[in-house]
Structure 1
Amino acid sequence: MKAVVVGAGIAGLVAARQLGSAGWDVELIEKSPGPRPDGYMMDFFGPGLEAAERIGLYPRLAAVAYQVEAVDYVDGKGRRTCSLDYNQFARLAGGKILSLLRPDMERAALAALDDVARGRVRISYGAQVSRVWSDHDGVRVTLKGLPDAPLAGDLLVGADGIHSTVRAQLFGPEDEYLRPLGMRAAAFTVPGPLLDERFRNRFVLTDSIDRMAGLYNLRTGEVAALLAYRDSTAAAVCRGSGDARERLQGEFAGLSAAVDRVLEACPEHVYDDVVAQIILPGWQKERTILLGDASGAVSLLAGQGASLAIAGAALLGDFLGPVASADGIRPALAGFEERWKPVVEEAQAAGRRAASSFLPRSKAQRLLRRWVIRASRVPGIDRAVARRIVGSH
């Protein structure tokens, strides 16, 4: 059995690994020239962490995790306004939690391919899809520059992100499924140190209105930055543009001295995109299945994108691993979607709820957020905070 996986992000890498470990031959196609360097610090917990333990990926992730002590909200002068202890956050999240830089997570998943799928997965970086076909006889993928040599297989996995080419060609235009949440986000790293010593091992978030900057000191001596802000044009402009650096400097200038220093060092090319979800009525078509952000992006507001990517990819491997003939592919895909879609939809609902408070619109909303964080230590209230932060997982 042979699978073609489009997209070597976290979902695609884990899906390729699990299929390869089950005896499938896998062609993994990625348009980027190599593992992507851009990304932000994120919390990894819930179903993805459980799946990572089950499939043997957890040790590699734990090896590159950061030891975060707290999340500190600071005002324009760098003074703490409220703080969330990370041990408490881990408890609210249901136990274990890892803090990971997205590029580190992707590289760990890449390195883990040889753990169980040695020789079964072939990766082609810098290979851009031009056309895909999927019918009852199989799948074919044509790459730009190689129109006369299409890849053929029994299964196609579209794991190529929120702006999926596979989805656009087989399921319809992006604007039919993309649901912007009225914000944009950017992520990049800059040379440090730009944060003072009192914020070592702590996430620093600006306690601001309609925009937020999150900063963290990395073990490399750099600072990772995540910037989010309201943008009424988000529905019309989904992809980052060449003026991202100038736009970010205009949006965030004066937020704090630390943010101003980060903006001065902002690279010309950064991750910059709309904060959005993908809402699809169905994820499968003939022998094609969409996975990860391509099928059900939850947005960074839900805090579970990487977790769902790994858990979903592992579950897909569970359903497809035992398949020994082409006749078993479509029933396996149907079973996967039936099992996994409700989980993703619940996470998306949590993300939409979080959107209302992620960037306070007024001083009153900002004060309410401070109160909620401070009250999160109170028994009973902590459970309500947990539902707000992590949903039911």
Structure 2
Amino acid sequence: MKAVICGAGIAGLTLAGRLHNILGWEVVVLEKAPGPRSEGYMIDFFGPGYDAAEAMGVLPWLEELSYPVSEVSYLDENGRRRAGLKYDRFTRAVGGRLLSIMRPDLELALRERLSLAVGLRFATGPAGIDARPDGVRVTLTDGSTIDADLLVGADGIHSTIRALTFGEERQYLRCLGFHTAAFVVDDPEVRAELGDRFCLTDTVGRQIGLYGLRDGKVAVLAVHRTDDPGLPTDSRTALRQEYGGLGWMVPRILTRCPPSEHVYYDQVAQVEMPRWSRGRVALIGDACHAVSLLAGQGASLGIAGAYLMADQLARTTSVEQALLRYERLWRPVVENRQRVARGAARWFVPDSSLRLRARRRALDLAGLPGAGRLIGAHLAGKRLPPLRKLATVTP
């Protein structure tokens, strides 16, 4: 059996490894970017994806690449702490099974564990799809073709495979009213001041978060409210205009913002689709069920979903039936997280001073004894089953 996977991100790399290592499939991974992407932001990695990483044996490496976080701190324009929460509250809430890791580092760990027999082709993507009852022919952007038994779109929220198979993006994209950006700057002085805290501006309508990385670097995550779904042509200029009025370290960070080609910039959105597969063409991860950064488990769901798809393909000789069973099992899980994210949107970046003060009060209350159970319920959702109940977890 042969699979073509479009997208060398978290979900695509996980699926490629499982299909080749466990099922013995021939696998080709296509990635339209010229090489591994360095842009990305710090994520909290926990939940079913953590279980899958442990089962795949990649967890020790992720632990090496992860960062310690002592506290989430909200700071005013003068750098004074206005609110915050010790990070061990989050860690205890999920039984200690949580890592803070840069998204590019998570991809690195998955990519470097791929067998050399897996074909990984950068600067190449799909240009056309000829779906047949017994397989798929994919025409590539370089004019060549590949025949496969399965084609999987793991190419993110702006999926080309989704557009070629199911139609225009606007049918499935649900914008949540935010734009976000992420980049890395080299600033040892700011790095030293941050320590091991994740520091965010305590501001209305827009927010910048900073976290110190290795070698004097600082990771930056920016989020602001907007009704305009369009994206700027020059993201660095747009960031300086949008966040230039903020205090604390923000002006210094903006002067060091790299050129637009080294900045991740996109709208905060979810993907909602009535079905995730058509014949032997399927979607995984953000391509079919993006939960947005507001949900806090996009990477975890991407890994666990890919793990589960491979598990279903191992259980039956019918590719189509395996894809349908995967969707029936996984759809309730991701829809739960999408609902949680939409409910959290009004607090993620407060739209008024009243909501800002309410968030400060909520964080104060979260530090009280007994609040850990509530934090855990928000982090894990109400109906997220452990991976072992969905898949045959094979170490």
Give the TM-score taking structure 1 as reference length.
0.94
The answer to whether 1:357 aligns with 2:347 is yes
Alignment of 1:47-62 (within 5 A): 47-62=48-63
Cα displacement (A) at 1:189: 0.5
2-structure distance, mates of 1:32, 1:187:
17
Alignment of 1:209-228 (within 5 A): 209-228=204-223
Output the amino acid matched with 1:45. Answer: F
- Aligned pair count reads 380
Contact 1:133–1:141 (CA<8 Å) still a contact in 2? yes
**What does residue 307 of structure 1 align with?**
300
Alignment of 1:287-306 (within 5 A): 287-306=280-299
**What does residue 246 of structure 2 align with?**
255
Contact 2:270–2:291 (CA<8 Å) still a contact in 1? yes
2-structure distance, mates of 1:384, 1:134:
47
Corresponding residue SS for 1:227: strand
2-structure distance, mates of 1:9, 1:94:
27
Alignment of 1:322-341 (within 5 A): 322-323=315-316, 325=317, 328-341=318-331
2-structure distance, mates of 1:303, 1:140:
36
Output the amino acid matched with 2:246. Answer: L
**What does residue 106 of structure 2 align with?**
105
Alignment of 1:204-283 (within 5 A): 204-234=199-229, 237=230, 240-269=231-260, 270-283=263-276
**What does residue 129 of structure 2 align with?**
132
Output the amino acid matched with 1:378. Answer: L
2-structure distance, mates of 1:295, 1:93:
27
Alignment of 1:1-393 (within 5 A): 1-21=1-21, 22-114=23-115, 118-119=116-117, 121-146=118-143, 149-195=144-190, 197-234=192-229, 237=230, 240-269=231-260, 270-323=263-316, 325=317, 328-392=318-382, 393=384
Please list every run of 5 or more consecutive structure 1 residues that lacks an aligned counterpart in the other structure. none
Contact 1:182–1:230 (CA<8 Å) still a contact in 2? yes
Cα displacement (A) at 1:100: 0.5
Contact 1:73–1:206 (CA<8 Å) still a contact in 2? yes
**What does residue 392 of structure 2 align with?**
none
Contact 1:187–1:227 (CA<8 Å) still a contact in 2? yes
Cα displacement (A) at 1:377: 2.6
Contact 2:191–2:211 (CA<8 Å) still a contact in 1? no
Corresponding residue SS for 2:215: coil
Please list every run of 5 or more consecutive structure 2 residues that lacks an aligned counterpart in the other structure. 385-395
Cα displacement (A) at 1:322: 4.3
Contact 1:68–1:86 (CA<8 Å) still a contact in 2? yes
Pairwise CA RMSD of aligned residues? Answer: 1.4
Cα displacement (A) at 1:159: 0.3
**What does residue 389 of structure 2 align with?**
none
Corresponding residue SS for 1:273: strand
1-structure distance, mates of 2:357, 2:374:
18
Distance verdict in 2 for CA 1:258–1:390, change over 3 Å: farther
1:227-266 C-alpha deviation (Å, 9 max, x unpaired): 00011102xx1xx443211111111113123111110011
Output the amino acid matched with 1:163. Answer: H
Contact 1:133–1:139 (CA<8 Å) still a contact in 2? yes
1:22-41 C-alpha deviation (Å, 9 max, x unpaired): 20000100001111110001
Cα displacement (A) at 1:346: 0.5
Cα displacement (A) at 1:301: 0.5
2-structure distance, mates of 1:29, 1:340:
24
Contact 2:191–2:212 (CA<8 Å) still a contact in 1? no
Mean CA deviation greater in 340-349 or 137-146 = 137-146
Corresponding residue SS for 2:319: helix
Cα displacement (A) at 1:193: 2.0
Contact 2:90–2:372 (CA<8 Å) still a contact in 1? no
2-structure distance, mates of 1:389, 1:165:
31
Contact 1:55–1:314 (CA<8 Å) still a contact in 2? no
Contact 1:43–1:97 (CA<8 Å) still a contact in 2? yes
Mean CA deviation greater in 132-141 or 74-83 = 132-141
1-structure distance, mates of 2:39, 2:289:
21
Cα displacement (A) at 1:196: 6.0
State the percentage of identical aligned residues.
46
2-structure distance, mates of 1:209, 1:182:
14
